[in-house]
Amino acid sequence: MGDRERNKKRLLELLQAAGTGNAYCADCGAADPDWASYKLGIFICLNCSGVHRNFPDISKVKSVRLDFWDDSIVEFMTHNGNLRVKAKYEARVPAFYYIPQASDCMWSQESIWYMRTHRLVVLKEQWIRAKYERQEFMADGKIISAPGNREGFLWKRGRDNAQFLKRRFVLLAREGLLKYYTKEEGKDPKAVISIKDLNATFQTEKIGNPHGLQITYRRDSHVRNLFVYHENGKEIVDWFNALRAARLQYLKMAFPELPESELVPLITRNYLKQGFMEKTGPKAGPLTSVPHPRLAKPDTKFPLLQQREPFKKRWFALDSQERRLLYYKNPLDAFELGQVFLGSNEQGYQVFEDLPKGIRGNRWKAGLTIVTPHRRFVFTCPSEKEQREWLESFREVLSSPLTPLNLLAVSRESDCSHR
């Protein structure tokens, strides 16, 4: 037994104890965890505690502030703690393995109900299971070789319809290729995808499946999207990490001078922001001399053009790593309608939180304008909240200088199609 308030105070002191790592969730790094696995001896956040509840033989959870704690359990927590337990269960996590972060699965409050809103729940669940249930990363565990070739079936969305059909996928890591076949025993692949141009990101809400994965690659001057899923969470996460392993292998060969720590963030990426906006096309009428209201003086290089085309609703995806804004007619389109390369402020790229004078939106009134060295792009957002989020995202990209990898891509990206 124990004194409730005394043990609660001891636990709160443990959360802040120096050198323990207890101030951050042991599984995702969220600050100020309020829960603990008293069978493992770690402090975790609310989201991760929900995953731990699924395997009570390995982990049992309590609230630090609300539940009663026996003296013996508090002693157990004192002698373990996050850093000590992580050293045991995360002794050899491969560099390519995606470790979910706090932002990957959050809860948002709407009225009095809490709803899970982020897309990477399956990644967090499989990360926790891999550590404690399967014990894949322990120093004294069995040797796990890096993923190489992989073959299996995934459900893929048809390019011209909404049907998901089973397709055979083959990953050839050494050759740096991913292939998929429309026939189970087919010899000729439907597509051969270079790992060099591949990205993979979980898009569960967009795809409408908790295991939905979007695979993106460059085909000619366009971006091709494949939308796939697997019924089994472990299987789809294993595919994701196998693609990441192949990508890291390619990056090491392509950039041997860069340390691994600089290559890991380049393996795969999530979109900085996605959502619907309306945009107007490039057609225009006679030139005028009216400047953008936020410009200090008239911009004679880009005089305002009279709006001729109506605003059209489009789905936008901002790829901050490649500095591209892609837009589609629908979120699950196989190809983009167009893309905008985003340089830096130093190169003359700017974003403004309103519309140029004389331009009026269709249904939505919260506008923003992107100015590039070649033209202006005018958008309207469905709400002021969306407008603020897009502005913050664009400013984050434009304020950052181009990396050496960006500079290598500028020549082919700056002349991409804007339709």
Which range, of 135-139, 143-147, 275-279, 378-382, averages the lowest pLDDT? 143-147
Type and span of the H or E element at 381: strand 376-381
For residue 419, what pLDDT band results from cuts at 50, 70 and 90? very low
Which range, of 137-146, 176-185, 378-387, averages the lowest pLDDT? 137-146
CA distance 336 to 289: 33
CA distance 153 to 164: 12
Averaged pLDDT for residues 59-65 = 95
Cα of first residue to Cα of last residue in the chain, in angstroms, is 70
pLDDT digits (tens, 9 = 90+) for 231-272: 999 999 999 999 999 999 999 999 999 999 999 999 999 999
Q: Amino acid identity, residue 212?
A: G
177 token code pair: 């290729």
Look over the chain and give the mean of its residue pLDDT values, rounded to a whole number.
87
Does the pLDDT at position 226 exceed 90? Answer: yes
In the chain, pLDDT over 70 holds for what percent of residues? Answer: 84
Q: Is 352 helix (H, G, I), strand (E, B) or coil?
A: strand
pTM: 0.87
pLDDT digits (tens, 9 = 90+) for 339-368: 999 999 999 999 999 888 878 888 898 999
Reported for 364-368, long-range contacts at CB under 8 A and 24+ positions apart, including other chains, are: 364/277, 364/278, 364/311, 368/394
Residue 290: predicted pLDDT:
39
Pairing of strands 113-116, 312-319: unpaired
Does the pLDDT at position 331 exceed 80? Answer: yes
pLDDT digits (tens, 9 = 90+) for 288-314: 333 444 544 444 444 555 556 789 999
Sorted by sequence, the CB contacts under 8 Å of residue 234 that are 6+ apart come out as 126, 129
* Cα within 13 Å of Cα(93), Cβ side: 17
107 token code pair: 């809860």
List helix spans (H) across 327-403. Answer: 384-399
- Of the candidates 136, 148, 38, the one whose C-alpha atom is nearest the C-alpha of residue 88 is 136
pLDDT digits (tens, 9 = 90+) for 102-138: 877 554 433 322 334 445 789 999 999 999 999 999 9
Residue 357: predicted pLDDT:
82
Which range, of 44-58, 120-134, 158-172, 398-412, averages the lowest pLDDT? 398-412
Please provide residue 145's backbone torsions phi and psi, each rounded to the nearest 5 degrees.
-75, 155
Sorted by sequence, the CB contacts under 8 Å of residue 24 that are 6+ apart come out as 30, 31, 33, 82
- Of the candidates 230, 205, 202, the one whose C-alpha atom is nearest the C-alpha of residue 216 is 202
Residue 369: predicted pLDDT:
95
